[in-house]
Structure 1
């Protein structure tokens, strides 16, 4: 019996191990490269003869301010995105009829618009309202661009909450707004956590908004600084890999802290 079970699980387990190795390989190569001296960079797979931490010193020195800028951009942008997504997704989850579906599908069309199409008009718009090269300007752009996806995510999550909960709250004298703030949002913690992780990763890793709407050290996020390690004539592979690994830490730590809530949220709040 045990042998039969082992045979059935051997293939799926092998596939998972192979997938894990494939996904981990770039991270391992980046780590090895970040610890090599310039003379060893060309030996991609080989282990470094001696740990060369100077790459991390260079990376930290050049990306220190931009790292703080990314935190200052990401945290408020995620909060605003979640708030807008929850407020807009709530009525769409409970609206009946063709009108609600029409509004919902209209918002979803925003997910089909690539950034490159609005890049130039957005540049002139942000500059005309005085928010070019500023952290509040990045808040506005990231929040606005996240409305379709956040609405889609929270609308579907709210729709998974039993409607009897809403009806019972109204019978007890709770207003729709009171139900949203006092009952629905607290019960949707896993969905909000999942969306927060998705949004934080997207905003933290953004490069196009960064290079289009910021120029100075006061607002440039870490992704734009990392891009600067690759010049037109030379690529600083060691500091580039070190800076990349440093920039990955906040997203990885956030996911590890909230991974259970993330999985529950993606499953539509199962077990609420």
Structure 2
């Protein structure tokens, strides 16, 4: 695209982009300002703190305890397991185009239509009966099972975008179906795997419902449950709440910034392969 074409567009697209950027950045700026205000300044929402009140962050770390570590120990294995199982399930579905393949595919997708609230109570009794209540392993199991339909849906569509000629050429060269999957298909789908990993990491890291239902102590309590503890029926500790929220967003933001190029390519259906 030439510079003349860009200049003919005028300032309108850039103005719209700046406005949208400000709208999305505004909540983050307000959260940062609130996290640095003393209790006496909290009510002045749009004002800049007269003095940086770092005690909010000290309180946030003290009250959160090991919940940040718990969130990491829950998120990382659950993401790996759900994506691995989703890829294995998506591989044959990407090559099944008859009625049987479509039926199996849609049956798996029904898992995406079940709200968390419907399975909350039976899931609580199930996890407790198998001895995984208030354990990190129990949350691995739940998040993995609930994420498999979406991972299958995502990777099935991504695998379908890989040229069939690559599979046929590999088979002519003597490559088995399993070898093609591990040696060719997965490396060619690296951008899709990165995008799915970021999506799943954000979803599992931000989960509150399963964390509140299936944990009761600091041994397995994730960061979201600890953050919810800053707001009670009697008061809301806005300063420590915002500080804890900002701290909890750092790992996900770092993951996105590191893999953002692969994330964009993956959402575009692998156009960068």
Confirm or deny a common fold (TM above 0.5).
yes
Deviations 1:90-132 (A, max 9, x none): 1100113111011111111111111001111111111111111
* Matched residue, 2:262: 261
Q: Is structure 2 residue 208 aligned with structure 1 residue 207?
A: yes
Q: Distance in 2 between matches of 1:256 and 1:119?
A: 33
Residues in 2 aligned to 1:27 and 1:7: alpha-carbon distance in whole angstroms: 34
Between 1:8-17 and 1:65-74, the stretch displaced more is 8-17
CA shift for structure 1 position 164 = 0.7
Aligned CA distance change for structure 1 residues 242 and 162 (closer, same or farther; 3 Å): same
Q: State the alpha-carbon separation in 1 of the partners of residues 84 and 241 from structure 2.
A: 35
Distance of 1:204 and 1:3 partners within structure 2 = 45
SS class of match (1:232): coil
Q: After the TM superposition, which residues 15-94 of structure 1 pair with which residues of structure 2 at under 5 Å, given as runs? A: 15-94=16-95
CA distance in 2, matches of 1:17, 1:129: 53
**8 Å contact 2:135–2:215 — kept in the other structure?**
yes
> Does the C-alpha gap of structure 1 residues 253 and 178 become closer, same or farther in structure 2, counting only changes over 3 Å?
same
Partner of 1:98: 99
Give the SS at the match of 1:94.
coil
CA distance in 2 between partners of 1:222 and 1:11 (Å): 42
TM-score when normalising by structure 1: 0.97
Structure 1 residue aligned with 2:194: 193
Aligned counterparts, 1:129-208, within 5 A: 129-208=130-209
Unaligned runs of at least 5 residues, structure 2: none
- Please give the residue correspondences for 1:104-123 in structure 2 after superposition, counting only pairs within 5 Å: 104-123=105-124
Q: C-alpha separation between the residues in 1 aligned to 2:50 and 2:7? A: 41
- For residues 194 and 71 of structure 1, the distance between their equivalents in structure 2, rounded to whole angstroms, comes to 18
Secondary structure of 2:94's aligned partner = helix
Q: Could you list the per-position Cα deviations for residues 178-229 of structure 1 after superposition, in whole angstroms to 9, with x for gaps in the alignment?
A: 1111111111111100000000000000000100011100000000000000
- Cα distance in 1 for partners of 2:266, 2:60 equals 35
Q: CA contact under 8 A between 2:60 and 2:241: conserved in structure 1?
A: yes
TM-score, length-scaled by structure 2: 0.97
